[in-house]
């Protein structure tokens, strides 16, 4: 089911998977044999050369897709302003993924309030003709108003469905968006807690009934719960035939 993408934040193999990984197989190759998508988070902290993205593209199957997190120099240090050069350089780098680049992920800090003019200018500065979609995980309450949602939708941006949700609206898919993007950080303890089978079964039903392209990225990576949760959800889709 090519419109359902399940994966984890980064592809580092847990200890048990490292033992099962064939000799000569990279962490990414082993990961991509099990999941159809991944979220690159390291791009938030440091730049990667275009050749590195090209190598990652070549290491994955044809149907595999990438989501790449926008650098913090854009979303945090610059607060979305005066960062056209940094954003252009980032886009030139990630273009190495070619058609396997599906999502640009923006995550803004809890201190950053919604400012429509700054967001509009930033989105307008994206390279013309980019074919990937944009998912945005805001953390300030002002991003969850009708005005903010209308503006994001007008620019084709989907708001991330986050767990734990910092406000009630953050845990619900935005109405009418062509893309739903779940980022599940672990609950009740962020980055550590695993999700129950019951939770994942309900999530599977919601994803099936959405009628839209859906991504589900597990970010509860501190104790590798992300792999088990993603694999369980992927198996539910596999059982659908």
Chain segment 70-87, per-residue pLDDT in tens: 999 999 999 999 999 999
Q: Which two tokens stand for residue 8?
A: 């984890």
Asked if 8 contacts 38 with a C-beta cutoff of 8 angstroms, the reply is yes
The answer, yes or no, to whether residue 2 has pLDDT greater than 60, is no
Q: For residue 127, what pLDDT is reported?
A: 77
Of residues 15, 76, 13, 82, the one with CA closest to residue 45: 76
Find residue 81's DSSP bridge partners: none
CATH at residue 205: 3.20.20.410
Q: For residue 176, what pLDDT is reported?
A: 82
Of residues 199, 186, 189, the one with CA closest to residue 227: 186
The answer, yes or no, to whether residue 241 has pLDDT greater than 80, is no
Chain segment 163-208, per-residue pLDDT in tens: 999 888 999 998 888 899 999 999 999 999 999 999 999 999 999 9
Asked if 145 contacts 153 with a C-beta cutoff of 8 angstroms, the reply is no
Longest CA pairwise span in the chain (Å): 53
Q: For residue 129, what pLDDT is reported?
A: 65
CA-to-CA distance for 204 and 88, rounded, in angstroms? Answer: 36
CA-to-CA distance for 228 and 241, rounded, in angstroms? Answer: 21
Average pLDDT score over residue span 48-64? 98
CA-to-CA distance for 65 and 8, rounded, in angstroms? Answer: 12
| pTM of the predicted protein model | 0.96
Number of domains into which the chain is organized: 1
User: Do the bridges between strand 4-8 and strand 37-40 make them parallel or antiparallel, or are there none, so unpaired?
Assistant: unpaired
Domain boundaries, position 39: 4-239
The answer, yes or no, to whether residue 33 has pLDDT greater than 60, is yes
Q: Predicted confidence band at 1 (pLDDT cuts at 50, 70, 90)?
A: very low
Mean pLDDT rounded to a whole number for the chain:
94
State yes or no: cis peptide before 164, omega within 30 of 0: yes
- Which uninterrupted H or E stretch holds 179? strand 179-184
CA-to-CA distance for 8 and 33, rounded, in angstroms? Answer: 13
Find residue 37's DSSP bridge partners: 65
Q: For residue 166, what pLDDT is reported?
A: 87
φ/ψ of 138, rounded to 5, equals -85, 160
CA-to-CA distance for 68 and 106, rounded, in angstroms? Answer: 9
CA-to-CA separations, 197 to 13, 181, 239, in angstroms, rounded: 22, 20, 15
The answer, yes or no, to whether residue 230 has pLDDT greater than 80, is yes
Chain segment 85-99, per-residue pLDDT in tens: 999 999 999 999 999
Whose tokens are 């995550």? That residue is 107
Instruction: Give CA 183 to chain center in angstroms.
Output: 7
Instruction: Report DSSP letters for 50-113, one per residue.
Output: HHHHHHHHHTS-TT-EEEEEPPHIIIIISTTSS-HHHHHHHHHHHGGGGGGEEEEEEE--TT--
């Amino acid at each position: 089911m090519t419109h359902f993408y399940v994966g984890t934040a980064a592809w580092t193999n847990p200890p048990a998977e490292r033992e099962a990984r064939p000799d000569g197989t990279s962490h990414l190759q082993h990961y991509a044999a099990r999941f159809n998508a991944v979220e690159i988070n390291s791009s938030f902290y440091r730049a990667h050369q275009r050749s590195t993205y090209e190598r990652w593209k070549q290491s994955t199957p044809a149907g595999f897709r990438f989501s790449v997190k926008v650098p913090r120099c854009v979303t945090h240090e610059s607060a979305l302003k005066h960062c056209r050069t940094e954003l252009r350089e980032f886009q030139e780098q990630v273009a190495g993924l070619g058609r396997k680049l599906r999502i640009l992920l923006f995550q803004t800090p809890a201190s950053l309030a919604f400012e429509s003019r700054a967001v509009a200018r930033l989105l307008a500065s994206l390279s013309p003709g980019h074919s990937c979609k944009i998912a945005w995980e805001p953390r300030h309450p002002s991003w969850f108003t009708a005005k903010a949602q209308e503006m994001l939708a007008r620019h084709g941006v989907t708001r991330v469905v986050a767990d734990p949700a910092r406000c009630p609206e953050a845990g619900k898919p935005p109405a009418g968006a062509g893309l739903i993007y779940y980022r599940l950080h672990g609950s009740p303890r962020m980055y550590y807690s695993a999700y129950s089978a019951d939770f994942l079964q309900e999530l599977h039903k919601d994803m099936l009934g959405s009628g839209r392209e859906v991504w589900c990225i597990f970010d509860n990576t501190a104790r590798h719960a992300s792999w088990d949760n993603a694999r369980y959800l992927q198996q539910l889709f596999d059982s659908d035939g």
